Structure 1
């Protein structure tokens, strides 16, 4: 098998299975494992995959800028948001991450529900302008403009003093073996600490985020209370996440 053909096949395996094991492919294609590792190393350098111990994982698709994503409220995101809102009880303290799905959660929270909402995203805080029964606490810090959230030591210091009942976490990728991940180191650290401080954490995930990995890990799947996914997600996809310790909640 020629080099280019092997590399195309590696991408097909990643697309189909969500991971590619170098030893398994070497046996299947009757080449040395070093050859497969070299292929994967070169493909990782080209941004085509992410190398991990024993093989490779697919790369999460790059996201458009925040203002573009904000205009793309899909039916899938509305269903995910509705499932999140059903988990909220009046009187709770709810931390909302930045992102377009969490913005949809904010829009669907009833105007007469009494809540305390904490967020480090000014765009999320603004969604509650007309909610007279909701107290909003905005965490400050340096704004990471791609996601429009506060990051850095100022934000972390404020989060240390919180104990939210619920955290709705945004992630750019979710993989059974590599957990939840995102594209920025500081943002990942903020998300991780909010998970640690919250009584319960849920992550709504659109279909394209499943089976992918972004550069910076947030937490393993076992450290969140549940993942909220579309009801149409195939059972064979859900099984891998359940095996990793995640509760899967259909929306």
Structure 2
């Protein structure tokens, strides 16, 4: 099999399970693992997958712009929000980022719940504008246009001065190696929310599981709870249970 055929085969296998392993590809292609490693590196450079130790994983295919993401997988986001709400208690301080799944949580916060929400998301702040008992602290900064959030040092400084009980983390991509983001500056804001929250609750649809983007946020072991739209016994979620995450 010539190189172009190998590259196409690797991509086809990746679409079936979001990840491929060097040993398996070496066996299926009847070539050495070094050859497969070089092929994967070439596909990584082209932005067609993400090379990881022992193989490769898929890039996220979720729409990038907020306006598109807001209309995507709405029913799944509502189900995740319903699972997230029971974690909220009176008197808590909550980080909420710009994920559209997180926005669904914000819209579902009970009207009699007294909490303080710290966010860099314009849509989240707007959703809570008329909430009678939720105080909103907005982390100002430079506008990240595709997400309708703020980024930069001003936003980070606000976050660093807060000790939150919970961070509702809107996932772009999640893998057993960790959580990643498309934007470097967005990854810095999220990393600081992780570092300044007692409990990290990640919200991710199943199609984001076992995918990766370019910029690392934190290892998976930082996450306490993983909420998806699926039942907790879904086989795709077992590796995260094995790592100690509470999967809901």
Distance 2:39 2:239 in 1: 26
Q: Using the alignment, how far apart are the partners of 1:236 and 1:143 within structure 2? A: 39
Q: How much has 1:31 moved relative to structure 2?
A: 1.3
- 1:37-52 correspondence runs (5 A): 37-52=37-52
Task: Determine if contact 1:123/1:148 at 8 Å carries over to the other structure.
Answer: yes
Q: What pairs up with 1:207-246 in 2 under 5 angstroms?
A: 207-232=206-231, 235-246=234-245
Give the alignment's TM-score, normalised by structure 2. 0.92
Displacement of 1:233: 6.3
1:30 aligns with 2:30: yes
Is the CA contact 1:139–1:155 (under 8 Å) kept in the aligned structure 2?
yes
Secondary structure of the 2:201 match is strand
2:81 is equivalent to residue 81 of structure 1: yes
Q: 1:72 to 1:29 in 2, by over 3 A?
A: closer
Aligned-pair CA distance for 1:86? 1.3
Distance 2:46 2:159 in 1: 37
TM-score when normalising by structure 1: 0.91
Deviations 1:201-242 (A, max 9, x none): 101111211111111111111101111012346632111112
Quote the residue 1:188 is aligned against: 187
Quote the offset at 1:248 in angstroms.
0.8
CA distance in 2, matches of 1:25, 1:231: 29
Matched residue SS, 1:146: coil
Q: 1:57-206, aligned counterparts within 5 Å?
A: 57-72=57-72, 74-176=74-176, 178-206=177-205
Runs of 4+ more than 4 Å apart? none
Structure 1 CA distance for aligned equivalents of residues 46 and 232 of structure 2? 30
Distance 1:14 1:246, change over 3 A: farther
CA distance in 1, matches of 2:238, 2:222: 17
CA distance in 2, matches of 1:119, 1:168: 10
Give the Cα separation in 2 of the matches to 1:182 and 1:142: 17
Quick one: distance in 1 between partners of 2:160 and 2:45? Answer: 37
Q: Does the aligned pair in 2 maintain the 1:18–1:211 contact within 8 Å?
A: yes
Q: Which runs of 5+ in 1 are unaligned?
A: none
Let me know the Cα RMSD of the aligned residues: 1.8
Distance 1:235 1:62 in 2: 21
Q: Residue 76 and residue 191 in structure 1: after superposition, are their counterparts in 2 closer, same or farther (change >3 A)?
A: same
Q: What count of residue pairs does the alignment treat as equivalent?
A: 248
Q: Distance in 1 between matches of 2:238 and 2:229?
A: 14
